[in-house]
Structure 1
Amino acid sequence: MKLLFLACLSPKTGNHTTAKRIRSHIEAAGHICELRDAKEFQSPADVADLLSHNPSIGGALAIHLFKAGRLLLDVQIPFGVIFGGTDINEDVKVEQKRVVMEQVLLKARFAVAFTDKLKEEAGLFLVSQNCKICVQPQGIQTEVTEKLCWAEFLRSSGVSSEGVDELHVFLLVCGLRRVKDPLYLAEVFSAWHCENLLNVLVIIGPRIDPVFTDEVEAVVSRTAGVFLAQERSQQELHAVMRRCSAVVNSSVSEGMSAAILEAMDLGVPVLARDIPGNAAVVEHEVTGLLFSSPQEFVHQSQRLLSDHVLRERVVRNGKLYVEKHHSLKQERETYQRLVGTLHPA
């Protein structure tokens, strides 16, 4: 079967990585999967027109019920949808978007949520279709093959190259958009840096929102101890993650942070803002550390740097958690089974 797969494909984002991984699962089952950026289409009519010129496409899939799923409302082929964090954390708060999402969910053959919490909240905020919703966590597999000159990476990010091996580098991995809140820790972290110049925060990720990126660059340029790195390929990013003291997530909302899971798989401790999406995968003091304020972030970071038993425990448990709950094999089997249900009725 040939499928159309719609997703938001901004380069080097979690959505892009997830979409490519799911496509590989589908193609491994012998299907043809045409992955297209949802931003290419203005309305459902555009997708319907595409399908009218491609009669061989027999099914469709979309990541994000509103951003991509809405584009499938006029199609006459069966489709499935995958919830994104923005769906339940943000879009359901807007009545117009919520109505559209309900229409998408009603028409879809199946829906996938990354966590039990997302499925539960979908049942609360949308017309109940829980029997359609399958919980399948993201599958994670990391492999560091890129050679990394750590000193050069830091130097290119504006960090002094002196005493590189003594630095405590906290890596905040995120696309530059407001929901990721990359400046949340800036002021307090800068004060901590001034107390100990070895502590530095490096923000790394694609420039998604140009206006917000300008704001981030302006703040970082005048904030001691906080730096902005150029985005890297996934393999290069993993090499950078392996060298840092901890990977940080300060998002206002998350569906499931791939960067957190990749850090765990790489044996890197995680410090994550205590929001539902993060708390679903980070158990405090077991698989990582959670914080509810910038001040608490500093406190937990100090514990991580000084308590080697704590650090070893969260690293070990994080690795085990990913191996147990984020199996690439299980993810592949789930999507192959679901896509098999998209045969025309």
Structure 2
Amino acid sequence: MQTQLVIAAPHLDVQRGNKITADRIETAAAAAGFQVTAMDTTGKLNADILGAADIVHGFHAFKFYPVLQHMTEGASFIITITGTDINYDLNNSDRHPAVVEVLKKASLIHVFDEYMKQKIPVEFQAKTEVLPQSVPHVKVASAPEPPPFKLLIPAGIRRIKQIPEAVAACAKAREVISELTLTVVGPVLEEAEKTRLDELEAECSWLTIMPSVNQSSMQTLYESHHAVINHSSSEGQSSALLEAMAAARPALVSDIDGNKGVIQHGINGFVFNDQSSFVTALISLQDKKIYQALSDAALETARTRHNPAAEQRMITSWYRKFA
């Protein structure tokens, strides 16, 4: 008889990081022989489905808390920490109790890197495991020959992603690299941010704002750009960043733990902490030898440290252990 697995993740109706991660793990678990049901934790919850599960895998501790209220006391579940739950919710007085309750009752806590593990309260670290996200292997295409030098921000449009600040940094860089362009693609999660970006697009002929596209179309976007930007003020481990690296595109990322868990400055991308260091990094990327070295290292990181087979083996072993 197949083991019944419920994958409980937020916002499964929107093409964003949590959905990409949950969909990938659902596919891997099904391929390994589990009977998988996906449940949107920000939608209507089904206690009967949860009650029939042998194991539940939740994503985002705070948004999993309502699911926990529908589960049988003592039922087995794994919780994956995705970013804002540990970077924000745990330190928010209103949300802290819910996050701690989930961490306390979890059979296992999954984090993407050692930076995140160190933020887990010490009493729960013994049951916390580090496993980086994986990214599918794709056929790699060469980047287009510049000019213009094309930058891409693949991100949900919300304040935490600091996209207007990235636009300002690119505007500064254009004082040196005049043919630089920037494309932003992703779902609108906060209307106020979209309004601000629409205003910036009207002001900047070199800026393009695109709606969310499907995963196959994202591959085309990575191939048609030279590098990606992650300017977030808080991050878990960006699926989009990993996808870009799997397409052999180097990244310029803000100096936060989630980004530094993936990018080694000057090795497989650049880490910046202000406009000046951002512009310096972009100037360095104009050097063909530096660009190629970072591109090769980004691809190698994606294919080794973020290997889908390794992720499948580890996660399915957890399911079998706790089911």
User: Which structure 2 residues correspond to residues 1-345 of structure 1 after superposition, within 5 A?
Assistant: 1-8=3-10, 9-41=12-44, 47=45, 50-52=46-48, 55-76=51-72, 77-123=75-121, 128-143=123-138, 166-193=147-174, 196-305=177-286, 307-343=287-323
The CA deviation string for residues 174-227 of structure 1, in whole angstroms up to 9 with x for no partner, is 110111111112224224436654111111111122332222222322234222
Between stretches 30-39 and 222-231, larger displacement belongs to 222-231
**Retained in 2: the 8 A contact 1:282–1:288?**
yes
Q: Which moved more, 1:83-92 or 1:294-303?
A: 294-303
Q: 1:68 to 1:221 in 2, by over 3 A?
A: farther
Hey, what's the Cα distance between the residues in 1 that align with 2:49 and 2:274? 53
Q: Is the 8 A contact 2:150 2:181 kept in 1?
A: yes
Q: Deviations over 1:111-163 (max 9, x none)?
A: 11011111111135xxx211211111001114259x9xx9xxxxxxxxxxxxx
- Percent identity, aligned pairs only? 23
Q: Distance in 2 between matches of 1:101 and 1:251?
A: 22
Q: Distance in 2 between matches of 1:199 and 1:53?
A: 51
Letter in 2 for 1:249: N
Partner SS state of residue 121, structure 1: coil
2:50 and 2:62 map into 1 onto residues whose CA distance is: 24
Contact 2:41–2:66 (CA under 8 A) maintained in structure 1? no
Q: Residues 90-110 of structure 1, C-alpha deviation per residue, up to 9 Å, x if partnerless?
A: 111202211111111111111
1:31 CA drift (Å):
1.6
> Secondary structure in 2 aligned to 1:68?
helix
User: Runs of 5+ in structure 2 lacking a partner?
Assistant: none
**What SS is found at the alignment partner of 1:39?**
coil
- Helix, strand or coil: the match of 2:54? strand
User: 1:178 & 1:10 partners in 2: Cα distance?
Assistant: 20
Are the structure 2 counterparts of residues 195 and 319 from structure 1 closer, same or farther at C-alpha, using a change threshold of 3 Å? closer
- Following the alignment from structure 1 to structure 2, what is the Cα–Cα distance between the partners of residues 331 and 232? 26
Give 1:280 shift.
1.2
CA contact (8 A) 2:172 2:275 kept: no
For the 8 Å contact 1:63–1:69, the answer to whether it is kept is no
Q: Which amino acid aligns with 1:138?
A: Q
Residues 172 and 114 (structure 1), Cα distance of their counterparts in 2 relative to 1, 3 Å cut: same
SS of 1:299's equivalent in the other structure is: helix
Unaligned 5+ segments in structure 1 are 42-46, 151-163
Give SS of 2:200's match.
helix
Structure 2 residue matching 1:183: 3-state secondary structure: helix
SS of the aligned residue for 1:255 comes to coil
What amino acid maps onto 1:198 in structure 2? E
Contact 1:193 1:225 in 2 (8 A): no
